Amino acid sequence: MNYIEKSYNINKTAFVIGGLGIIGLEAAKALSDSGAKVVIIDIQKPNINTKNLLKQKKINFERIIYKNDDKFFKKDFYKIIKKYSIPDIFINCAYPKTKNWKNNNFDKITFKELKENINLHLIFFCWFAKLIADQMRKKKKIGSIIQIGSIYGLLGQDMSLYKGTSLRENVSYSIIKGGIINFTRQMASYYGKNKIRINNICPGGVLNKKDKNLKSKKFLQRYKNKSPLGTMAEASDVASAVLFLSSESSRHMTGQTLVIDGGVTII
């Protein structure tokens, strides 16, 4: 057995939903470098630097606009599937949210805001995965679906991290990520007979060097102190896990949650 070839030669088609985010883009790059034909699908447009990167890595890009009904899937999303064929690998890092996302804390959230975010994020996220699994089954693909969750789908948010900062807990986020994790288990149970694997990756805090102003230094330092490794994750740490779950090395894994958090969830 050639373990290097088994792990890193991914000669397959991969879709990355939400592929312009820091995790999605790094995962797309890693897959492309490993031989995969990669298609990024996102609601945003790539900037000039990202366009150049996609061209250099030979990564395809498709823009989508979410519509609040299943017509989006029946029309727009199926156009992409028809264009590129059913993927062997589906990376689900979509992160749609409302304009008032920052007010989704216990003091300010409204019923309408909670409902809209769950509809937009949780339902779309799960429906993407189901549709892809159904298409993989129809074409008898031995596929891998990888859902990007969060440790806050496993834990309650630590309120002490936010004290004295402008950051707050997020009610919708924990509901959504918790739902995704268990939906993945349910999907894995159902589609296992079709040789389709569905797994979660749950990162802890991921450092975004481009968005220094979005997080308080106090919060970052507290989070690092909470981690046994004393660090936050980088997008490349998550991308490495994506490669593993995309490859034959993980062929006997399904319904699992791979936690990448520097040890935060163990204490």
- The tens digit of pLDDT for each residue in 167-183 reads 899 999 999 999 999 99
Q: Look at residue 262 and tell me whether its pLDDT is greater than 90.
A: yes
Residues whose CB falls within 8 Å of the CB of residue 59, separated by 6 or more in sequence, listed in order: 28, 29, 32, 38, 39, 40, 53
Whole domain around residue 233: which residue ranges? 3-266
pTM above 0.75, yes or no: yes
Indicate whether 135 pLDDT > 50: yes
Q: Residue 250: name the closest of 183, 197, 193, 192 by CA.
A: 197
**Range of 120-129, 217-226, 239-248 with top mean pLDDT:** 239-248
Mean pLDDT score of the chain: 90
Whether the per-residue pLDDT at 1 is higher than 50: the answer is no
- Residue 210 is predicted with a pLDDT of 67
Mean predicted confidence (pLDDT) in 181-202: 97
pLDDT of residue 218: 86
Q: Residue 258 — pLDDT band, cuts 50, 70, 90?
A: very high
Q: How far apart are CA 178 and CA 11, in angstroms?
A: 32
- Longest pairwise C-alpha distance within the chain: 57
pLDDT on residue 7? 60
Kindly indicate the confidence band of residue 199, based on its pLDDT and cuts at 50, 70 and 90.
very high
Whole-number Å distance between alpha carbons of 120 and 40: 19
Residue 89 belongs to a domain with what CATH number? 3.40.50.720
How much of the chain exceeds pLDDT 90, in percent? 72
Tell me what pLDDT residue 139 has.
Answer: 94
Q: What is the pLDDT of residue 212?
A: 59
User: Is the pLDDT reported for residue 215 higher than 70?
Assistant: no
Average pLDDT for 82-86: 92
Amino acid at site 221: Q
Q: Measure the CA dihedral 137/140/141/144, to 10°.
A: 40
**pLDDT the model gives residue 141:** 94
Average pLDDT over residues 44-69: 90
> What pLDDT, on a 0 to 100 scale, did the predictor assign at position 5?
58
Average the pLDDT over 76-102 and give the result.
Answer: 91
How many domains does the chain contain in total?
1
What is residue 69's DSSP assignment? S
Mean pLDDT computed over 121-142:
93
